[in-house]
Amino acid sequence: MTDSFYPPLRTLMGPGPSDVSPRVLGALSRPTIGHLDPHFLALMDSIKALLQYAFQTDNALTLPISAPGSAGMEACFVNLVSPGDKVIVCQNGVFGGRMKENVERCGATAVMVEDAWGDAVNTDKVTATFKTHPDATLLAFVHAETSTGVRSDAAALCAIAAEHGALTIVDTVTSLAGIEVCVDAWGADAVYSGTQKCLSCVPGIAPVTFSDRAVERIMQRQHKVQSWFLDMQLVMGYWGGEGKRAYHHTAPINALYALHESLLMLREEGLEAAHARHLRNHRALVAGLEAMGLSMAVPAKHRLPQLNSVIIPEGVDDAVLRNALLSEFDLEIGGGLGALAGKTWRIGLMGFASNPRNVALCLQALEATLAQQGASVLRGKALPAAQAELDTAA
């Protein structure tokens, strides 16, 4: 390619990345400064405080890892798991499977608690598993399973772990800023997220936070952390609070400008208002989808407002339809993963992208493309139903 790259202007309503606000993109293009510049160090402190707000925590070790959400996951596992440990891992979708991979690559044993894709993690099974494996040192689970659109009960799961003297690793990549994440109230120990879902920032950064208990366990490690880059004892030398900061790696300066701006936007709106907005737009979308005759894949009580799994109607070709949405409406939605491939769509209403305009665009585009494919879809019902829902919420 010899010409500059200009991407098409899409509306991103898949499982991430989500739409990035122009304000955040503007921050990204500000002049690069050195990663030890006093102005940059001040920005780091501000990002830390804003992340503590987003995570609802006072944890001193709260920082953005310079790599995507998957690296946040890996940072939690490689620092808290030692060879020979036993870790209880809950799996009800794709991301629990990756947790298992992480545990095994640390030389530890993963004891799996499996639930069907589309179900929430069953807390009774977790309690029973602690009874049969009292030597488990950690419980790991996904709060918001993006592969299915299901929310699990993080507070209850953290309480079970605490009763059995285990620490917790919690994936909040899709939940942070979309639904309530209260790290301190839950008593969670190592929590990671990503910038590209409900924080609606550019992809490539992973906010993490570690409790004092988790830091203590890291300090007491007998084995070196297998990853040099993600070893928190080394990362702390750069990000760790007061005093001198030592070079560890070059922070992604401009991406951190962007993260700072997106966190500022979150604080200006307020967490509660952001959660309420996600819920309102979710309800409008569901009302519209059901009015055109589609069905949701997840029971209402476990649904994530930011990730809506919809059953693909009989006879509709998933790939053809999503290509039509992309080429005719510049609209991206997600397909199903694993066992749900070809069976569900995943419609994201994440962060900046969670707004009534996107709800309307998605309903209109789906209705038109489904009709083009000859699917039996009720015409002209979806938008009024969605609007009626928004009106009752107003």
Ligand X SMILES: *Cc1c(COP(=O)(O)O)cnc(C)c1O
Residue number of the CB closest to ligand X reads 69
Stretch that binds ligand X, among 51-59, 133-141, 169-177, 342-350 (CB under 6 A): 169-177
Q: Among 332, 335, 338, which Cα is nearest to 319's?
A: 335
Q: Where are the beta strands (DSSP E) in 272-335?
A: 307-311, 331-335
Long-range contacts of 182-186 (CB under 8 A, 24+ apart): 182/56, 182/155, 183/55, 183/56, 183/57, 183/59, 183/209, 183/211, 184/56, 184/57, 184/58, 184/59, 185/56, 185/155, 186/154, 186/155, 186/158
Residue count, binding to ligand X (CB under 6 A): 14
Decide whether 192 or 239 has the Cβ nearer to ligand X: 192
One of 13, 14, 55, 69 touching ligand X (CB under 6 A): 69
Cβ 69 to ligand X shortest distance, Å = 2
Q: Phi and psi for 78 in degrees, rounded to 5?
A: -65, -25
**Angle in degrees, 0-180, between the axes of helices 232-239 and 69-80, rounded to the nearest 10:** 120
Q: Mask: binding to ligand X, 202-241, rule CB under 6 A, as x and -? A: -x--------------------------------------
Give the residue with the Cβ less far from ligand X, 150 or 161.
150
- Rounded Cα gap, residues 117 and 147, in angstroms: 8
Interface residue with ligand X, options 61, 173, 230, 363 (CB under 6 A): 173
The piece of 80-88, 99-107, 171-179, 213-221 that touches ligand X (CB under 6 A) is 171-179
8 A C-beta contact, residue 352 and residue 340: no
Residue 194 interacting with ligand X (CB under 6 A): yes
Give the nearer residue to ligand X in terms of CB position, either 154 or 375: 154
174 makes contact with ligand X (CB under 6 A): yes
Using CB under 6 A as the binding rule, whether residue 123 contacts ligand X is answered as no
Q: Does 171 bind ligand X (CB under 6 A)?
A: yes
SS3 assignment for 230-244: CCHHHHHHHHCCCCC
Phi/psi-derived region of residue 89, left when phi > 0, alpha when psi is between -120 and 50, beta in every other case: beta
CA–CA dist 277, 279 (Å, integer): 5
Which region, judged by CB under 6 A, interacts with ligand X, from 65-73, 178-186, 254-262, 287-295? 65-73
Question: With CB under 6 A as the contact rule, which of the stretches 39-47, 67-75, 155-163, 347-355 interacts with ligand X?
Answer: 67-75
Minimum distance from CB of 333 to ligand X (Å)?
15
Among 11, 14, 16, 278, binds ligand X (CB under 6 A): 16
| 369 lies in the binding site for ligand X (CB under 6 A) | no
Distance from C-alpha of 151 to C-alpha of 142, rounded to nearest angstrom: 8
198 and 18 Cβ atoms separated by less than 8 Å: yes
Sheet arrangement for strand 307-311: 11-13, 331-335, 344-348, 307-311
- Residue 366 and residue 270: Cα distance in Å, rounded? 32
Q: Can residue 115 be called a binding residue for ligand X (CB under 6 A)?
A: no
CB-nearer residue toward ligand X: 194 or 336: 194
| Binding letters toward ligand X, positions 129-168, x by CB under 6 A | -------------x---x----------------------
Please give the single-letter amino acid code of residue 73: M
Interacting residue ranges for ligand X, rule: CB under 6 A = 16, 68-70, 73, 95, 142, 146, 171, 173-174, 194, 196, 203
